[in-house]
Amino acid sequence: MTNGLVLSIDGMGGDSAPDIVVEGVDIFARSHPDVRFLVHGDAGRIGALMDKYPAAKAASEVVPAEKTIGMEVKASQALRQGKGSSLWNAVQAVELGTAHAVVSAGNTGAYMAIAMFRLRTMQGVHRPALATRWPTMKGGYTIMLDVGANVEADAEQLVEFAIMGEAFARAVSDEPRPKVALLNVGAEDQKGHEEIRSAAKLIRETDVDINFQGFVEGDDIAKGTVDVVVTDGFTGNIALKTGEGTARLVGQLLREALTSGPLAQLGALIAYPALRKLRTRMDPGTFNGALFLGLNGLVVKSHGSANGRGYAAAIGVAEKLARSHYREEVVANIQRLSQANANAAAAAAAAGSAK
Amino acid sequence: MTNGLVLSIDGMGGDSAPDIVVEGVDIFARSHPDVRFLVHGDAGRIGALMDKYPAAKAASEVVPAEKTIGMEVKASQALRQGKGSSLWNAVQAVELGTAHAVVSAGNTGAYMAIAMFRLRTMQGVHRPALATRWPTMKGGYTIMLDVGANVEADAEQLVEFAIMGEAFARAVSDEPRPKVALLNVGAEDQKGHEEIRSAAKLIRETDVDINFQGFVEGDDIAKGTVDVVVTDGFTGNIALKTGEGTARLVGQLLREALTSGPLAQLGALIAYPALRKLRTRMDPGTFNGALFLGLNGLVVKSHGSANGRGYAAAIGVAEKLARSHYREEVVANIQRLSQANANAAAAAAAAGSAK
């Protein structure tokens, strides 16, 4: 590994790979000349693209990979047959220590499976989680996790998600003490599932070092009430997709309204630069870059349909994480959680033997 | 009870009651001269308002109620002290058979508690559910339930929600065979919780008469993929609030964009009529009218902040339900479900004794 930061890139993952990937690397490289890239994939195609993107070419080493994992491939299939693919090799570079983080816009299930298989779960973490960012009314982002890696999560897992999400938030924002809350159907202590109430109790009763704010509701995600919203992967996935669907619905209704007659069209034409800015702000590419948390390595997922700018945003997430103390912070808090659990178990055993 | 349709109205429930309530009754009464209203509440205030709204006055009987249940009152408190309130009396009119349905924009928890206490759950239904309507890209509505009455729901309850939601959809739309689906994190059979997979199996294996489409995801709600989306009250409440929050976020960003400079403002001014139509279409008032399903009586909830037109929409839901075969259809399907469960239990017992 060189002295500088090295990022491993799956050159072939995503709807418009490798074109968008190389463009994204180029955009990022122009403002970050100190970062190097290992771009895995079809060397002929990627090499030809690099000629069009000089900043990407100067910062990258193209690492040939003999195959590509398609979007339709199942996770189990990817594990059996994925060796030698651009995705597999990109992950392996992190495992071997030749890169500090990996980015792919490819098949999510295959990516998660290969990353878990090669990098393994961090000690003390039961299951990895998938975290995404949402734009908020305050102008920043809310990080939400889990959004689909685990259909169910018990209290201890929810606390692990809180710990990992908090360190992620600090790494990618300027907030030194990100606010963390559990997603619930009301703010009162007695609301919600047993798992959520127990998780809140566990955070409050252990010395896990996070700025915990209790419960928030679904509308707090877009409000930006807290920096990190913690939930199980079932609820998180449904909330994420419901939000995306609603944003698309409003966008469609707006387009219909602004093309509904000559006056509306004229108004839209005059307001066009402002409307284009709105579109950019709502574009998932702008806040692109999900993270698989809880693995021995930094694994960033770009949206499959991200454009070059969106891909560069995902690379930015990987870079910020790689330069942060994310791992050490998670390890320290997970140890506090494990210690609290061990103490509780010892106390229970002592109480039992004293009988 | 007179020969025509009678609706019982909580005159004092809602953020701007009784004003908005009387205005809503007036708007509805103008196009439905055959419907009569019992308006419960402060007879002096409501009577004075009626003088301003002649259609409401002609169609209504004001029923004096000595008190009002505030928005801050807890459900348990409402049950203990709510007797004689406008909300209590409005529900009781349905119990006594003097009205065909009740509408209130008041305290949701108190309303649900009083309605359950006075009207009781329909035979064969384990727990009532709360259903709301969402606008869709297709121009119609998706009905979603449960959105908050039950934090958890087992497979049989989910099937009951499906049965009740389907009958609700037919009552308020022109769709004779509404499409019903369970909300999940993927469309494949093996996805999701045990409860959801069992519910899908139960619907397919019993002769419950609904047009069942399997699983849908969060973004299908706004797409309008199906007419009825079924989920537990935890997931449903979070999806609903996340969607509302996202719609508000996009609305705020649009306002910011259209006031960001003189050109944007000019464009917005010219396109104003179209933008106002968009606003109306996204206004929750337009699709106002949630339903507590599964009680011995039709119980409609208006949004607390609905305007007169929104309140009239909620009255419209009550009227359509009261004129429909909602109750008979639910009873028939619940019987099919109970019969299937009884058969399964008998088969299991026979298999046990044959050993």
The tens digit of pLDDT for each residue in B6-30 reads: 999 999 999 999 999 999 999 999 9
Query: Cβ–Cβ of B245/A219 closer than 8 Å?
Result: yes
For residue B297, what are the CA distances in angstroms to B91, B101, B102, B146, B240? 9, 7, 8, 18, 25
What's the burial of A264, exposed, middle or buried (CB within 10 Å: 0-12/13-18/19+)?
A: buried
Query: b/e per residue, A319-333, with b = 16+ CB within 10 A?
Result: bbbbebebbebbbeb
Which residues from chain B sit within 8 angstroms of residue A239, using beta carbons? 218, 238-239, 242
* Alpha-carbon span B316 to B301, nearest angstrom: 12
Residue B41 structure tokens? 């509440």
* Among the partner residues B135, B238, B281, nearest to A218 by beta-carbon distance: B238
Query: Cβ–Cβ of B273/A264 closer than 8 Å?
Result: yes
Q: Count the Cβ atoms, other than its own, within 10 Å of residue B284.
A: 18
| Residue-level pLDDT at A49 | 97
Fold of B122-294+326-350: Isopropylmalate Dehydrogenase (3.40.718)
Query: Cβ–Cβ of B278/A264 closer than 8 Å?
Result: no
Longest dimension (CA), chain A: 85
Tell me what ipTM this predicted complex has. Answer: 0.86
How does pLDDT run across B112-134, given as a tens digit for each residue?
Answer: 999 999 999 999 999 999 999 98
Closest Cα partner for B317 from B162, B186, B173? B173
Query: Cβ–Cβ of B270/A267 closer than 8 Å?
Result: yes
User: Looking at the complex, does the CB of residue B219 fall below 8 Å from at least one CB of chain A?
Assistant: yes
CB proximity list for A5: less than 8 A, separation 6 or greater:
A34, A35, A36, A100, A319, A322, A323
| HEC-encoded secondary structure of A36-62 | EEEEEECHHHHHHHHCCCHHHHHHEEE
The alpha-carbon gap from A28 to the nearest alpha carbon of chain B, in Å, equals 27
Q: Report the sign of the C-alpha dihedral through residues A244, A171, A211, A201, in that order.
A: positive
User: Looking at the complex, does the CB of residue A252 fall below 8 Å from at least one CB of chain B?
Assistant: yes
User: Looking at the complex, does the CB of residue B304 fall below 8 Å from at least one CB of chain A?
Assistant: no
The alpha-carbon gap from B229 to the nearest alpha carbon of chain A, in Å, equals 12
For residue A199, what are the CA distances in angstroms to A155, A211, B150, B239? 4, 14, 20, 21
* Alpha-carbon span A134 to A205, nearest angstrom: 30
User: Where are the alpha helices (H) located in chain A, listed in sequence order?
Assistant: 19-31, 43-50, 54-59, 75-81, 86-95, 108-119, 155-172, 194-205, 219-223, 233-258, 262-270, 272-282, 308-323, 326-353
Rg (CA), chain B: 22
* Among the partner residues B238, B253, B266, nearest to A185 by beta-carbon distance: B238
Strand segments, DSSP code E, in chain B are 5-10, 35-41, 60-64, 101-104, 129-135, 141-145, 179-183, 211-216, 228-230, 290-293, 298-301
Which residues from chain A sit within 8 angstroms of residue B190, using beta carbons? none
Task: Look up residue A122 and give its DSSP letter.
Answer: P
Task: Look up residue A149 and give its DSSP letter.
Answer: S
Query: Cβ–Cβ of B217/A238 closer than 8 Å?
Result: yes
* Among the partner residues B136, B183, B260, nearest to A238 by beta-carbon distance: B183
Which residue in the block uniquely carries the two structure tokens 């806040």? A287
Rg (CA), chain A: 22
- The one-digit pLDDT tens for each residue of chain A (355 residues) are 445 899 999 999 999 999 999 999 999 999 999 999 999 999 999 999 999 999 999 999 999 999 999 999 999 999 999 999 999 999 999 999 999 999 999 999 999 999 999 999 999 999 999 999 988 988 888 999 999 878 889 999 999 999 999 999 999 988 999 999 999 998 777 788 899 999 999 999 998 999 999 999 999 999 999 999 999 999 999 999 999 888 888 888 888 888 888 888 888 888 888 888 887 777 766 677 789 999 999 999 998 888 999 999 999 999 999 999 999 999 999 999 988 888 888 888 888 765 5
* Alpha-carbon span B143 to B226, nearest angstrom: 9
Query: Cβ–Cβ of B222/A249 closer than 8 Å?
Result: yes
* Among the partner residues A243, A260, A274, nearest to B274 by beta-carbon distance: A260
The alpha-carbon gap from B290 to the nearest alpha carbon of chain A, in Å, equals 17
Q: Tell me which of B162 and A284 has the higher pLDDT.
A: B162
| Residue-level pLDDT at A1 | 44
Query: Cβ–Cβ of A135/B192 closer than 8 Å?
Result: no
Query: Residue A250: closest CA among chain B residues belongs to which residue?
Result: B247
The CATH code of the domain at A1-119 is 3.40.718.10
User: Looking at the complex, does the CB of residue B340 fall below 8 Å from at least one CB of chain A?
Assistant: no
Q: Count the Cβ atoms, other than its own, within 10 Å of residue B121.
A: 13
- Per-residue pLDDT for B2 more than 60? no
Q: Report the sign of the C-alpha dihedral through residues A295, A242, A134, A162, in that order.
A: negative
The alpha-carbon gap from B189 to the nearest alpha carbon of chain A, in Å, equals 14
Closest Cα partner for A147 from B153, B193, B185, B246? B185
Q: Which residues pair with A8 in a beta bridge?
A: A38, A102
What's the burial of A129, exposed, middle or buried (CB within 10 Å: 0-12/13-18/19+)?
A: buried
What DSSP element (H or E) covers B96?
A: none
* Alpha-carbon span A222 to A240, nearest angstrom: 11
CB proximity list for A41: less than 8 A, separation 6 or greater:
A10, A11, A12, A17, A18, A62, A63, A64, A65, A68, A86
Half-sphere exposure at residue A314, Cβ-oriented, CA atoms within 13 angstroms? 37
Query: Cβ–Cβ of A185/B233 closer than 8 Å?
Result: yes
The alpha-carbon gap from B203 to the nearest alpha carbon of chain A, in Å, equals 22
* Alpha-carbon span A247 to A135, nearest angstrom: 11
* Among the partner residues B151, B245, B281, nearest to A185 by beta-carbon distance: B151
Query: Cβ–Cβ of A248/B135 closer than 8 Å?
Result: no
Q: Which CATH number fits domain A124-292+324-341: 3.40.718.10, 3.40.50.1820, 3.90.1150.10, 3.40.640.10?
A: 3.40.718.10
The alpha-carbon gap from B195 to the nearest alpha carbon of chain A, in Å, equals 12
* Alpha-carbon span B299 to B164, nearest angstrom: 13
- Answer for the pair B336, B207: CB distance below 8 angstroms, yes or no: yes
What DSSP element (H or E) covers A210?
A: none
Average pLDDT over residues B65-71: 94
Closest Cα partner for B236 from B282, B183, B200? B183
Residue B267 structure tokens? 């464009």
Length of chain A: 355
What DSSP element (H or E) covers A133?
A: strand A129-135
Query: Cβ–Cβ of B239/A238 closer than 8 Å?
Result: yes
Sheet architecture: strand order including B129-135: B60-64, B35-41, B5-10, B101-104, B298-301, B290-293, B129-135, B141-145, B228-230, B179-183, B211-216
What's the burial of A266, exposed, middle or buried (CB within 10 Å: 0-12/13-18/19+)?
A: middle
- Answer for the pair A20, A39: CB distance below 8 angstroms, yes or no: no
Query: Cβ–Cβ of A264/B274 closer than 8 Å?
Result: yes
Cβ contacts from A onto B, under 8 A: 200
The alpha-carbon gap from A105 to the nearest alpha carbon of chain B, in Å, equals 20
The pLDDT confidence band at residue B285, using thresholds 50, 70 and 90, is low
Half-sphere exposure at residue A310, Cβ-oriented, CA atoms within 13 angstroms? 26
What's the burial of B205, exposed, middle or buried (CB within 10 Å: 0-12/13-18/19+)?
A: exposed
| Residue-level pLDDT at A3 | 59
How does pLDDT run across B244-262, given as a tens digit for each residue?
Answer: 888 888 888 888 888 888 8
Residue type, B220: D
Query: Cβ–Cβ of A241/B217 closer than 8 Å?
Result: yes
Query: Cβ–Cβ of A245/B219 closer than 8 Å?
Result: yes
User: Looking at the complex, does the CB of residue A251 fall below 8 Å from at least one CB of chain B?
Assistant: yes
Query: Cβ–Cβ of A271/B272 closer than 8 Å?
Result: no
User: Looking at the complex, does the CB of residue B261 fall below 8 Å from at least one CB of chain A?
Assistant: yes
* Alpha-carbon span A15 to B80, nearest angstrom: 60
Task: Look up residue B287 and give its DSSP letter.
Answer: G
| B60: helix, strand or coil | strand
**Which of left, alpha, beta for A292 (phi over 0: left; psi -120 to 50: alpha)?**
beta
User: Looking at the complex, does the CB of residue B257 fall below 8 Å from at least one CB of chain A?
Assistant: yes
Which residues from chain A sit within 8 angstroms of residue B271, using beta carbons? 257-258, 263-264, 266-268, 271
How does pLDDT run across B79-95, given as a tens digit for each residue?
Answer: 999 999 999 999 999 99
| Residue-level pLDDT at A162 | 97
Q: Which residues of chain B from 23 to 82 reach within 8 Å of chain A, CB to CB?
A: none
Query: Cβ–Cβ of A246/B246 closer than 8 Å?
Result: yes
Query: Cβ–Cβ of A220/B245 closer than 8 Å?
Result: yes
* Alpha-carbon span A200 to A184, nearest angstrom: 11
The alpha-carbon gap from B140 to the nearest alpha carbon of chain A, in Å, equals 12
Query: Cβ–Cβ of B268/A267 closer than 8 Å?
Result: yes
Average model confidence (pLDDT) across chain B:
91
Longest dimension (CA), chain B: 85
The alpha-carbon gap from B148 to the nearest alpha carbon of chain A, in Å, equals 8
User: Looking at the complex, does the CB of residue B218 fall below 8 Å from at least one CB of chain A?
Assistant: yes
The alpha-carbon gap from A345 to the nearest alpha carbon of chain B, in Å, equals 29
Query: Cβ–Cβ of A223/B245 closer than 8 Å?
Result: yes
- Per-residue pLDDT for B187 more than 90? no
User: Looking at the complex, does the CB of residue A245 fall below 8 Å from at least one CB of chain B?
Assistant: yes
Residue intervals of chain A classified under CATH 3.40.718.10 are 1-119, 124-292+324-341
State in Å, rounded, how far the first CA of chain A is from the last one: 59
State phi, psi for A148 to the nearest 5 degrees: 150, -5
Which residues from chain A sit within 8 angstroms of residue B250, using beta carbons? 246-247, 250-251, 282
User: Looking at the complex, does the CB of residue B177 fall below 8 Å from at least one CB of chain A?
Assistant: no
